[in-house]
Amino acid sequence: MRWLTPVLALTLAACSGSSPPAAPAAPATAPAPAKAATASPAPSKDVAKTFTPPPADSIPDTPFGKMVREGRAIFTDTQTHAKAYVGNGLNCSNCHLDAGRLPNAAPLWAAWGMYPAYRSKNGHVNTFAERLQGCFRYSMNGKAPPPDSEVIVALESYSYWLAQGAPTGVALAGRGYPKQGFKPPQPPDFARGQKVFETSCALCHGKDGQGQKVAGRYVFPPLWGPDSFNWGAGMHQLNNAAAFIKANMPLGRGGMLSDQDAWDVAMFMDAHERPQDPRFNGNVAETRKKYHDSKMSLYGTVVNGHLLGSGPDR
């Protein structure tokens, strides 16, 4: 499985624990902050365009570094390290590639400095911890770890460490999935999407989209069905899925699909059944109205004679 090599390499690097250069001793007298007043704010804009996280093998051998490593382990192998909070077959890094480092795959370093933030999804200001909890509840179809739990503290530590030197409150280049101005030339189409799926995705994700396992673990994650993200997850929205796919899939060949193909295959993927939205109130139409009243969600719509969100069909 040569696709796994980078993942394995990263995991191994995580365990190697190389020491960083020793920190310089603190000066006996603090230097006068004379220059601060004249310093130009411009550099932070440049950093926003060029920011890169520290090398993966430079996590310090300190108690803080230990927590950072734990965060990385949780992020890349959520199945093992945060099992109690996961209800499907995914790991965080299945959608946040290269252990949350890859630009245009919603990297953690670009997320850290953008919270607390108002989210229309829940109508209030969310801390970073709450944002992490959201991905457990929806993308991982699981339960939110308590905000002061070790799982959350470790993930915060890893994100903070990746973001060192980045300005806060500035959208760094490479944040999220590149959605701005990304529109389908023609409305997305299920039949065309199916063709793209068969030619460009099924090889890894399986003919039935259920992924592929080796020794009981997914090496290629499921795109729909009981082990995938649920109906409340960001990836079930066509714009998120199309942007992720365009930039990152087929794995290692991001940018290869035309915009139309990316939207079509996103629509095909998101027109299949998956675990219920945990906010489901017993009625698909009402749940759609309350949480999915958008062209980007197929929840509660009928595709090929099946009401999406209503049941086990896939």
Closest to ligand HEC by CB, 8 or 302: 8
Would you give the binding string for ligand HEC spanning residues 199-238, x where CB under 6 A is met?
A: -xx-xxx--------------xxxx----xx---xxx---
Label residue 304 left, alpha or beta by phi (over 0 means left) and psi (-120 to 50 means alpha). Answer: left
Two structure tokens written together for 282: 């017993």
Q: How far is the CB of 189 from ligand HEC (least distance, A)?
A: 15
Q: Does 239 bind ligand HEC (CB under 6 A)?
A: no
Segment contacting ligand HEC by CB under 6 A, of 21-29, 46-54, 58-66, 93-101: 93-101
Closest to ligand HEC by CB, 69 or 175: 175
Q: Does 162 bind ligand HEC (CB under 6 A)?
A: no
Would you give the binding string for ligand HEC spanning residues 96-125, x where CB under 6 A is met?
A: xx--------x-x-xx--x-----------
- For ligand HEC, the binding residues in 136-155 under the rule CB under 6 A are 136, 139-140, 155
- Given candidates 125, 251, 285, 302, which one binds ligand HEC under the rule CB under 6 A? 251
Closest to ligand HEC by CB, 187 or 252: 252
Closest to ligand HEC by CB, 12 or 285: 12
Give the footprint of ligand HEC on this chain (CB under 6 A): 3, 7, 75, 78, 90, 92-97, 106, 108, 110-111, 114, 131-132, 135-136, 139-140, 155, 175-177, 196, 200-201, 203-205, 220-223, 228-229, 233-235, 240, 244-245, 249-251, 257, 265, 269
